[in-house]
Structure 1
């Protein structure tokens, strides 16, 4: 490919040239990173205090839900830190996000192991379930035992996402990872013990309403939204999954990761993680430069898209299996159990 084709403005750019074009955005402004982290955690602390102490229940509930949304934003910042995109080599950043990870049931070791694997294996049929929702082909489903079908359907069921606080995070991220590798994932047990201790302690000293509104409900909201975001980022109508033999990282990033259109409010709360195709192309780009990268590289401006509109959410949740003949995700066959 000629030098003129390697320019960032070329919409036909692909492969290693596309990755190279993204690298100039993989640098942070330390001042911006620090401001976003401190302001986010200040808002999170304020929402938590209002949820715990405000004299009116409606105000407390609104603050609790807002706290849950701010947990999602703070988690995106922690996620960027893990990728080395913000606050690189910062000791205070490491301390802050380590404690935060324990408090929100995403211990650093388990998250790093599964998430790094996910980035390296996005949209591969075999093995992609580590750090992600599993994907079967129609033929794999046809040949699977009833037990394996049930387990697969249960993991991808909307209720598993809705109750991700219990299923994905408390059980999967904490308990399961510790049982699997106790020495390596000791912080998973620490997160679990800390969470139970906080629920019991807050209930005992301040009342169950404080534990519910300042801890449990915010985490329920954050885990449900985070679980769905992660689902829709790689399970959407226009996804393309490559055969494993010809799998290509850059193509998987652009064609197998969605662009979730969000308004300014949800863009704030989700830390622009909806520009997921840009993030998967180069995880070292800070969240606040994803839009800049997308605007500068035409090849990133026509991604497969979805949104948080109920119609798009329903469309994503219906998708269960990859059909390599039709080259699209499809619902379960009529006999699938459980439904959903």
Structure 2
């Protein structure tokens, strides 16, 4: 793990970085970014989307004709293509793919079709994460439980929690998908509920029609090989990338009264280096700090924005490099949360 500490003698917070002025506002940080990072490129946006469509199509073609010895590699390739489509839908959800809202909605639904992920429910829930990043009580993405919360769970709930915050972290996004993205009746009546319901029913219809057709034409093995295994690879990446964006032993979650927006977005988000092929297929989603400062930056401008942040705010940034060793360390330690001590392991509860 690489952590930037420009001035070791400065007043330090628990993360080992200089203390941010709590009077600092998000717009003060955004003023330091080049204005052209907010400019959308129709060509780059559509090229990114269509390139993933081509990659997934090539992956499916390869799975259909390749010998079984090549299937694991093709599952990895195709599932990573799924995740690339998810990243395009991610820009659509933040309205940074196109200027017209209906284009964002249409492309978002199409891009998430192989992932069977409801677009509007994801968009609505994901915006909660951005508004409350690393808020211990309000964030909805990998926020840990207090010890007291964990102890109040029943045996089954404890087993699920221990698994998802341990070595089965890669199933976390599947549980999140199932728990939060189909229950439209939990949303306050109005436009958002109708959008939520439409997307949820769209995905249900997709599964009800698409799965039987796939099984009828390719058999159960075709369903498993062409869709299920790539889908599991997609969720491995979704769980892993999301986990590494905001989870390290020294990154803080804070409650009301202590939570500070700029600290949460600038210090509480991390950038992580992945293999070049992953970063290319998945459109630099790992360049995460600029995205958390403002969701208005399209994926193809993230690196330029990041260079500016490095220049002006580099002492506050956390940088990692993807590895299974890092994942093992996180899932060995980042289990429960204590407001004063930070993360605690299950054995310390």
TM-score between both structures, scaled by the size of structure 2: 0.80
Distance 1:248 1:147, change over 3 A: same
Distance 1:277 1:322, change over 3 A: farther
Find the counterpart in structure 1 of residue 176 from structure 2.
168
1:104, 1:289 → 2: CA distance?
25
Find the counterpart in structure 2 of residue 310 from structure 1.
324
Distance 1:70 1:45, change over 3 A: same
Find the counterpart in structure 1 of residue 154 from structure 2.
147
Structure 2, unpaired ranges of 5+: 1-19, 188-192
1:69, 1:91 → 2: CA distance?
26
2:175, 2:88 → 1: CA distance?
23
2:104 matches 1:96: no
- The answer to which of 214-223 and 244-253 deviates more is 244-253
Deviations 1:124-164 (A, max 9, x none): 111223xx1232334x458x424297277247334653335
Deviations 1:160-209 (A, max 9, x none): 5333575333x22444x246458642421331342253233212222222
Find the counterpart in structure 2 of residue 211 from structure 1.
223
Find the counterpart in structure 2 of residue 324 from structure 1.
339
TM-superposed CA distance for 1:79, in Å, is 0.2
Find the counterpart in structure 2 of residue 115 from structure 1.
126
Q: How does 1:1-340 map to 2 (within 5 A)?
A: 15=25, 16-22=27-33, 24=35, 25-51=37-63, 53-89=64-100, 91-129=102-140, 132-138=141-147, 140-141=148-149, 144-147=151-154, 150=158, 153-154=161-162, 156-158=164-166, 161-164=169-172, 166-169=174-177, 171-175=178-182, 177-178=183-184, 180=186, 184-297=196-309, 298-302=311-315, 303-318=317-332, 319-326=334-341, 328-334=342-348
Structure 1, unpaired ranges of 5+: 1-11
- Number of equivalenced pairs: 316
RMSD over equivalenced CA pairs, Å: 2.8
